[in-house]
Each structure stands twice: as structure tokens, then as C-alpha cells.
Amino acid sequence: MRHLLIPAAAAILFAGCAAPEAIAAENAEAAARTITVNGEGRASAAPDMAVITIGVRSEAVNAVEALRKNSADMNATIKKLKDLGVADRDIQTSGLSINPRYNYGENRSDPEITGFVASNSVTVRLRDLDNAGGVIDQAVQSGANSLGGVSFSFSDPDPLHEEARRDAVADARAKAELLTDAAGVQLGKLIRIQDGYVSQPQPRPYAVRAEMAADSSVPMEAGESEITASVSLIYEIQ
């Protein structure tokens, strides 16, 4: 009976070739023993700032006259906003256009231009919510005749962002504990955290009539705004 003898050098070489495969298999097995969970957190508070889009829409028989009228009313609106305490940094032009107005009558091969419409709008941050309705009312009386929308926000949202993220992490941790307990395994250490989205309060449609009475005040209720955040956690399973 013959015995196969493997030289020492060949044995070392064989062991060296097998080691990477064993390590790779071990790493793959370790990677498979993980659980990924997503968490969502919320934080809410009464907002301390309103953001509005207010503008002027003017019509005239020609573009020059439409722009002249529009600029005069818009300058008056901006001046009124500043007189009411709105800072320069809180007023930003957000739209400016001049477009022809057409008459699409019957039996017309080409529409007829009957005039021009000039529009200008600014986005305004109102930091005094108690007087926000009065500011809008007086801005309309000064020349503005359109409101594109209103949203309520926070001058310093960072504390709410932090609270929402903490709540999201707690939510993800609770899910991981529940799932591993239900599966009869033990939750291991946290190996990865991935930050997700953080939402912001969304604008709401808001309409205004140009013929508002001089003594009227626009009613505004800020209510409570909510910020949400999400995270993704990866745990080891022991």
C-alpha cells in the first residue's frame, strides 16, 4: 500500500490558497446575519413665521404701459411692506413676466392681440404672525392683487429636526427589537446608520380679492406644523 506524501512547501501553498475562500465564506455568512430597519420620526410645534407670495397683475393695450402700471403698483406694495416692518432680506422677487392677451374669436385663422398682461410677484417672510393678516390686507390696498400661496414655517427649525431624527432612530430601534424577538434571535450591535429625508411644511393655496374692504383684516390661523424625518439602521444578529 502506497502513501501519498505532500511536501511541506506544497502543503503551505495549498493552505494559503484555501484561506481566502474560507475567509470570504465567513465574511459572507457574517454579512448575512444582519437586519435593516427603517424608522420615521415626527416633531411638531406652533410655527413662528409665515411665507407668502404676493403680486401685482396689470393689463394695458401695449407692453410698455402694462409694465409701467405694474411697476408703479409693485413699488407701492414693496414700500408698504417695508413701512410695516418687513426687512429687506425677507422680500425677494420670485416672478416677472409680460405676455400678450389674445382674442380667440370665431372664424379667426390667427388670434388677435388685444393687449398685454404684466405680472410681478415677491416672496415675503412675515416673522410677526400676530400682525400677518393686517400686513397682507394693507399690501393689497397699496396695489397688490394676487396671492399665490401661504405656508407656515419656523425661523429656527434645527431643534425640531433634531427631535424628529431622535424619534426616527427610536422607531427603527423598536422595529428591530420586535422583529428579532419574533424571529427568536438576539439583536446585536448597530453597525450602520443612514440619515434619510427631513420634510418641511408645505404651502397652502390662498386666494384674495382685489376689492377687499379697507377696514377688513385677512384672517390667518397658523395652527401647528409638523416635520418628519427618516433613518435606516443596520444591526448585527447574534
Domain with 96 in it: what CATH number? 3.30.70.2970
CA angle 53, 54, 55 (to 5 degrees): 125
Q: Identify the DSSP state of 129.
A: G
Q: Which residue has the higher pLDDT, 82 or 5?
A: 82
Q: Is 68 inside a domain boundary?
A: yes
- Let me know: does 138 contact 200? Beta carbons within 8 Å: no
- Let me know: does 66 contact 120? Beta carbons within 8 Å: no
Q: Is 191 inside a domain boundary?
A: no
Q: Is 164 inside a domain boundary?
A: no
Q: Is 185 inside a domain boundary?
A: no
Read off the pLDDT band of 209 (50, 70, 90). very low
Instruction: Flag whether pLDDT at 21 surpasses 90.
Output: no
* Set of cell numbers at residue 123: 416672496
Q: Is 236 inside a domain boundary?
A: no
Q: Is 60 inside a domain boundary?
A: yes
Q: Is 196 inside a domain boundary?
A: no
- Let me know: does 28 contact 218? Beta carbons within 8 Å: no
Whole-number percent of the chain with pLDDT over 70: 78
Q: Identify the DSSP state of 137.
A: H
How confident is the model over 80-95, as a mean pLDDT?
95
The reported pTM is 0.66
- For residue 72, the model assigns a pLDDT of 95
Instruction: Flag whether pLDDT at 107 surpasses 90.
Output: no
Residue-range definition of the domain harbouring residue 129: 46-156+203-222
Count of domains forming the chain: 1
Q: Is 174 inside a domain boundary?
A: no
pLDDT in tens, 113-171: 899 999 999 999 999 988 888 898 899 889 899 887 788 889 999 999 999 999 999 99
Residue 42's region, left for phi above 0, alpha for psi from -120 to 50, else beta, is beta
